Chains A and B, each alone.
Chain A
């Protein structure tokens, strides 16, 4: 594995409640640079919530998450306690983390290209011509060069998700987070999205992927993390994970989905 240096994600004892519901009960995870980590687990296990905490789309109630060596969402207060960070800082950190949503969340009033160049132009203040050139290159990379001027409503689910990946890549993120990127797709479109993700992984992008795609996990992941009931039950490289799961809960889960 071509991983090296300090971890890019370092989560320590993350706890999260939704009202009285304890959804994350002390989750700790490190992700190294260029590593691809797949998080699997039954629905309600907290895997999506945990992923959303990594770019602070969800607040956390205790513990800490560092991305690229900096706390995300919080800063240390006077007495060492964590207080929520300024909107500006949170936004700046998020701009370096790509996030791909289950339901794509493309902006329907903008074309494919406009979706991609929006953040580089408005957030990074890139020159429009540079952003357009980069946007066109990204569209070509996800195989949609001809859909430059198409509105999301004109694209299939698979195409929309590929545009969404391109939109996230346009900010040149150091880390890409995928939240069940193929769950909302018709079966025949899953392949085209996984292919793009596999290429990304092969190019050395650091990725954390919440997914039920065991084929992808087996082939592209360096490590598989099994979550259940708000905790990490087990983590292992794919070969070991699938061949000899250590935990009873993992065995049960795998027997149901494989």
Chain B
């Protein structure tokens, strides 16, 4: 017991937490932008999948169903592996080149593969969240939009989705929290983000306790900042709900509104 406590290199731990070096800061920034981009793409994929699931075309519903089933039913780590190496190992061609040029900037292929893998994974979870959000909106809202001549896409964009957003945003916030931590799995394919920085550090020093507590601290910092932002967003949504009074709750329950 005594020896264990003595084994912690307090100086190193302090350094890992309070004195981040340059490679670590680079890795941290990379973690943040990977999480943000993957989340945005995941929401887009999730929206597409949710709309497919509600389509009256059986093929689209089936595709979406298979996508959600496969992605949610297999380990993310396996998905990341096959996203990056799969094409090469199974089909013999390179899906992600060493660097991918986006015109204004370029990214390592492995980072792009990592972002795509995380986005595809996230899309399956967002699909369910968005579908639930849209289903929570009374059918009459879409009917009213159609009755004044709106087409489905316009009615979705202008009438249904803005209302569904209130239902979607809280779980979306939790998803992003998870996304921040899931980026650590990209260390497996060699994306130099926060976790790989820690892993490489401990593999030379053999001091995993200091490196893992240190990196966990920084994940905690990121998720805490996000939680604070999330609270603000939800407060804002809540505020406009209060402003519209109890009519909202009544609408959802389908009760007639009372006199004022």
Q: Report B-chain residues with C-beta under 8 Å of the C-beta of A155.
A: 247, 257, 260
CB distance from A34 to the nearest CB of B (A): 22
Q: Report A-chain residues with C-beta under 8 Å of the C-beta of B146.
A: 57, 91, 94
Quick check: is A153 within 8 A (CB to CB) of the other chain?
A: yes
Q: Report A-chain residues with C-beta under 8 Å of the C-beta of B162.
A: 109
Q: Which of B208-232 contact A (CB under 8 A)?
A: none
Partner of A156, one of B152, B244, B257: B257
* B159 x A108 contact (CB < 8 A): no
Q: Which of A109-140 contact B (CB under 8 A)?
A: 109, 118-119, 122-124
Quick check: is A205 within 8 A (CB to CB) of the other chain?
A: no
Q: Report A-chain residues with C-beta under 8 Å of the C-beta of B150.
A: 91, 119, 122-123
A186 CA / B248 CA spacing, docked (Å): 18
A171 CA / B248 CA spacing, docked (Å): 26
* B254 x A103 contact (CB < 8 A): yes
Quick check: is B258 within 8 A (CB to CB) of the other chain?
A: yes
Partner of B247, one of A57, A154, A167, A171: A154
Quick check: is B158 within 8 A (CB to CB) of the other chain?
A: yes
Q: Given A105-B140, A107-B141, is A185 in contact with B256 using a C-beta cutoff of 8 Å?
A: yes
Quick check: is A106 within 8 A (CB to CB) of the other chain?
A: yes
Partner of B258, one of A97, A170, A186: A186
A57 CA / B152 CA spacing, docked (Å): 13
Quick check: is B59 within 8 A (CB to CB) of the other chain?
A: no
Q: Report A-chain residues with C-beta under 8 Å of the C-beta of B259.
A: 156-158, 186, 188-189
Q: Given A57-B143, A103-B140, A109-B162, is A167 in contact with B148 using a C-beta cutoff of 8 Å?
A: yes
A156 CA / B148 CA spacing, docked (Å): 23
Q: Which of A159-181 contact B (CB under 8 A)?
A: 160, 164, 167-168, 170-171
Q: Given A106-B144, A160-B257, A188-B259, is A123 in contact with B149 using a C-beta cutoff of 8 Å?
A: yes
B250's closest neighbor in chain A, by CB? Answer: A153
* A153 x B248 contact (CB < 8 A): yes
**Interface residue SS majority, chain B:** helix
Partner of B244, one of A57, A103, A108: A108
Quick check: is A92 within 8 A (CB to CB) of the other chain?
A: yes
Of the listed residues B144, B146, B150, B250, the one surrounded by the most CB atoms of chain A closer than 10 A to its CB is: B144
Quick check: is A216 within 8 A (CB to CB) of the other chain?
A: no
Quick check: is B108 within 8 A (CB to CB) of the other chain?
A: no
Quick check: is A242 within 8 A (CB to CB) of the other chain?
A: no
* A151 x B147 contact (CB < 8 A): no
* A99 x B147 contact (CB < 8 A): yes
Quick check: is B72 within 8 A (CB to CB) of the other chain?
A: no
A153's closest neighbor in chain B, by CB? Answer: B247
Quick check: is A95 within 8 A (CB to CB) of the other chain?
A: yes
B138's closest neighbor in chain A, by CB? Answer: A105
* B148 x A108 contact (CB < 8 A): no
* A156 x B143 contact (CB < 8 A): no
Quick check: is A88 within 8 A (CB to CB) of the other chain?
A: yes
* A108 x B248 contact (CB < 8 A): yes
CB distance from B144 to the nearest CB of A (A): 4
* A105 x B141 contact (CB < 8 A): yes
Quick check: is A152 within 8 A (CB to CB) of the other chain?
A: yes
Q: Report A-chain residues with C-beta under 8 Å of the C-beta of B246.
A: 153
* B258 x A156 contact (CB < 8 A): yes
Q: Report A-chain residues with C-beta under 8 Å of the C-beta of B248.
A: 108, 153
Report B76-115 CB contacts with A as 1/0, cut-off 8 Å: 0000000000000000000000000000000000000000
CB distance from B60 to the nearest CB of A (A): 16
Q: Report A-chain residues with C-beta under 8 Å of the C-beta of B144.
A: 99, 101, 105-107, 164, 167
* B152 x A87 contact (CB < 8 A): yes
Quick check: is B154 within 8 A (CB to CB) of the other chain?
A: yes
A55's closest neighbor in chain B, by CB? Answer: B147
A196 CA / B144 CA spacing, docked (Å): 20
A94 CA / B243 CA spacing, docked (Å): 33
CB distance from B253 to the nearest CB of A (A): 11
* A94 x B149 contact (CB < 8 A): yes
Residues of chain A whose beta carbon lies under 8 Å from any beta carbon of chain B: 55, 57, 87-88, 91-92, 94-99, 101, 103, 105-109, 118-119, 122-124, 151-158, 160, 164, 167-168, 170-171, 184-186, 188-189
